[in-house]
A and B are shown apart, each in its own frame.
Chain A
Amino acid sequence: MPLNALFKPRSRLQIQTDQTLTQHKPKYNTKSARSRQHTDLRFAVLEARLEQADLLKKVVDAIKDLVQDCNFDCNDSGIALQAMDNSHVALVSMMLKAESFSPYRCDRNVALGVNLTSLTKVLRAASSEDILTIKAEDAPDVLNLVFESSESDRLSEYDLKLMDIDQEHLGIPDTEYAATISMPSADFRKICQDLMLLSESVSIEASKDGVKFTCAGDIGNGAVTLRSHTNVDKPDLNVDIELTEPVALTFSLKYLVNFCKAAGLSKSVKLCLSNEVPLLVEYALAGNSYLRFYLAPKIGDDE
């Protein structure tokens, strides 16, 4: 007689129990943080090692001024992030493919709800050259970060408390853009910063002749024009314009300047424009990883 059949927990009751218990749960998952100092690594379902902490530092730095809290969705193909700013007019989409890590292991899909400011604080403790390993257990309360100095034998370990974040994901279709502009990321940053001193929005016009960034403000007007340009010695400085039809759109400079914080991640940036759809600003990272920003165009009365 299988006696143990009798003692099966009754799942319905279990659920009731949980609900009653979690009703007044604080926002942070404090279950384990109090009871032990560091994540028990034996049960880690996510383990990702970055040769250079720099990558994550820069990515988080670029996103943190746009988004406050967001989920890092980890699965076997890598770590993804999608989040919108508070007014929902801009969206950031990050993909760090498993190839960017060495090694990368993720046994189960986990969402790491992180406050980016807090993550920045922890990442600030890492030097750019440090080897960074992040770990999390199943249904994690904390994200465990380990920094190994490549030069000395210093080993720093941090646990970052995670949060439950309700987030809706938007499906972003592959779009054929009317204009695709590749240019040095530093140039794009300079253009945006310069024009922001004059006005709050910039009009980007792409035509056969090139790309023209224009703005008009109280103190005067400004315009920067770029033409296709190939520099054999320094391919980083290439400007490449692909155009199927002319486009002219207006964007908020504050947001663009914000996106440009990612300029340190990649030497070049790709701007994709089509009428009536958001601008895509893409920073390609090593190993097919990317950091993409989308920004809704300004339409109507503003100009």
Chain B
Amino acid sequence: MKTRGRPSTKAKKEPTEAPVTSEPKTQLGPNVANPPQLFILPEGISKNARVISVENPRSTNDSRYLVCPERGFYEFTKVATPKSTPRSLLLSSLDAEAVDGDNGVEDSTDKLSSSGYIMRDAGLFVATPMDPLFFVLPVLAPVSASRGSEPPKKLFLSGEDYLDKVTAASPHLISLLRVDSLRASIEKRMAAVCDTVDAGDETMYRLSEEKMTRELLKKAKKMSENGLPASMEDKFIRKSLDVPILSIKREESSLNDEETPADTPDTQASTTSTDTATSSFSEASTAATSFSEHSQGTATQHMKTPSIPPINAPDGVVDLLRLRTALFFICSNYIAPYLSETIKKLVLSSTSTVDFAPLEAHLVHLAKLRQEALAARQLGGTSQKRSLEEDEDGESRAEKKRKLEEEEKRKKAGESRGVKNLKKVNTTGMKKMSDFFKKK
């Protein structure tokens, strides 16, 4: 869904009280070739803030960022409705009447906003703050230096030199970096991950891997300590820590599955102030949105609410996994692939400040359990019904039940007499085809 927009300068420079602005200038008829986009910009950004192209630290393509000399960097996150439930937005000014009455002559923009405007695509671009550190990291740790172990190559360079390299890749930044406050904030962030030396009136920086990992771990910790968004929690935490059990305990988990969504409406508070991660995940779908809001709302009070079945894992392991997931999320979004590999290695190594060993051990243990469960299932494979019931590969009971029913229904409908008859054939002494022919 590639769209094009003309961010109106007006909209950027005058963030209104409710910071929702649009840029309908001319109405070209029913099918606008270049439909307007809706941006939500932060309140109180300075007049010199600009939307510019900066090299994306992950993909190294140019991407659009909002840069404010005072507030720093913002990335745009698209919040879209899922394709299955298309929506449109109606934009109208609150005091449409007043505008009409007061001004005898208005420009076209006012006219449009007073009569309202319908956007075909209900996507919103939300500017969310982003740490400038991520833009500097690629120059602090260029490809050659971070690959392999060649520590002698690293030299102390002045902040100026590093920023020159940044602007070489993103020329739009040059004029903005002339502002001292922005420069200072970037250098401050550099100092957080670098060893520094004072050389006269200048400070020289050199990347310290130790500081960098510590800084990133701090970020990850911050992200994970309030609880991850529900979709992440579900996919990466619950699923990977799910202990394969044999046909007990399922009753309660299925009950809880149904309770969870029912609770959501009363905790729909805190989305507007979410960080990048949550808002990007809440775009998933309406269902997912309410889920993540739920987990967030409750998570701020306490990590484990009674409505969610507790994760069965030794103390600390869950938090470790959350931390690791958050870190990997950061790596996979803001840090170039070569660098994230190094970081992952460093963080998971024994020298790191956080010891992931218990988590590793637990995951290995779980993998073993799962394999055993699978083996047990295959052994008792005579009755298909039972074997399906024992299938505990991280699926909720509700889903399994549904699958089972569906399977049965499908079987009844889709099984020919011949297939049924073949089931009765005595196949003792016959090897399976896979014993003769290799899998492709």
Q: Do A and B come from one complex?
A: yes
Q: Which residues of B are found within 8 Å of A154, using beta-carbon distances?
A: none
Q: Which residues of A are found within 8 Å of B385, using beta-carbon distances?
A: none
Q: Which residues of A are found within 8 Å of B421, using beta-carbon distances?
A: 65, 254
Q: Which residues of A are found within 8 Å of B439, using beta-carbon distances?
A: 168-171
Contact A3:B5 (CB < 8 A) given known A172-B437, A254-B421: yes
Closest chain B residue, CB of each to CB of A26: B406
Q: Which of B87-95, B134-142, B180-188, B412-420 is the contact stretch?
A: B412-420
Closest Cβ of chain A to B98, distance in Å, is 33
Q: Is the CB of B433 within 8 A of A89?
A: yes
Q: Which of A39-47, A112-120, A180-188, A211-219 is the contact stretch?
A: A112-120
Q: Which residues of A are found within 8 Å of B5, using beta-carbon distances?
A: 3-4, 6-7
Closest chain B residue, CB of each to CB of A91: B433
Q: Is the CB of B434 within 8 A of A170?
A: yes
A189 within 8 A of B: no
A69 within 8 A of B: yes
Q: Is the CB of A117 within 8 A of B416?
A: yes
Contact A9:B2 (CB < 8 A) given known A19-B235, A21-B82, A68-B416: yes
Q: Which residues of B are found within 8 Å of A26, using beta-carbon distances?
A: 406
Closest chain A residue, CB of each to CB of B84: A21
A202 within 8 A of B: no
B332 within 8 A of A: yes
Closest Cβ of chain A to B1, distance in Å, is 5
Q: Is the CB of B406 within 8 A of A254?
A: no
For window 258-303 of A, CB contacts with B under 8 Å fall at 258, 261, 277-278, 294, 296-302
Closest Cβ of chain B to A89, distance in Å, is 4
Closest chain A residue, CB of each to CB of B75: A10
A85 within 8 A of B: yes
Contact A301:B418 (CB < 8 A) given known A7-B37, A296-B436: no
Q: Which residues of B are found within 8 Å of A3, using beta-carbon distances?
A: 4-7, 64
Q: How far is the CA of A116 from the CA of B421 in the complex (A)?
A: 16
Closest Cβ of chain A to B426, distance in Å, is 6
A232 within 8 A of B: no
Q: Which residues of B are found within 8 Å of A172, using beta-carbon distances?
A: 437
B399 within 8 A of A: yes
Q: Is the CB of A24 within 8 A of B425?
A: no
Q: Which residues of A are found within 8 Å of B437, using beta-carbon distances?
A: 91, 170-173
Closest chain B residue, CB of each to CB of A10: B78
B438 within 8 A of A: yes
Choose among A2, A21, A68 the residue that contacts B414 (Cβ–Cβ < 8 A): A68
Q: How far is the CA of A301 from the CA of B427 in the complex (A)?
A: 12
Q: Which residues of A are found within 8 Å of B63, using beta-carbon distances?
A: 5-6, 8
Q: How far is the CA of A120 from the CA of B415 in the complex (A)?
A: 11
Interface centre among A6, A64, A200 (most CB of B within 10 A): A6
Closest chain B residue, CB of each to CB of A300: B429
For window 384-440 of B, CB contacts with A under 8 Å fall at 399, 406, 410-411, 413-419, 421-423, 425-440
List residues of B whose CB falls within 8 A of some A CB: 1-7, 37, 51, 53, 61-64, 76-78, 82, 84, 125, 231, 235, 280-281, 283-285, 287-288, 332-333, 399, 406, 410-411, 413-419, 421-423, 425-440
> 29 A-B residue contacts at CB 8 Å?
A3-B4, A4-B3, A6-B51, A6-B64, A10-B78, A12-B333, A13-B280, A13-B283, A16-B284, A21-B284, A64-B418, A65-B421, A66-B418, A87-B432, A88-B432, A88-B433, A89-B427, A91-B433, A91-B437, A117-B416, A118-B413, A168-B439, A169-B439, A252-B427, A258-B418, A296-B430, A298-B428, A298-B430, A302-B429
Interface contacts beyond A13-B78, A88-B433: sample of 6 additional A-B pairs, CB < 8 Å, sorted by A: A3-B6, A7-B37, A20-B285, A21-B84, A116-B414, A299-B430
List residues of A whose CB falls within 8 A of some B CB: 1-10, 12-13, 16-17, 19-21, 24, 26-27, 64-69, 84-91, 115-118, 120, 168-173, 200, 252, 254-255, 258, 261, 277-278, 294, 296-302
In the A-B complex, the 10 residue pairs with the closest CB atoms? A65-B418, A6-B64, A170-B437, A115-B414, A4-B4, A89-B430, A298-B429, A296-B430, A20-B284, A88-B432
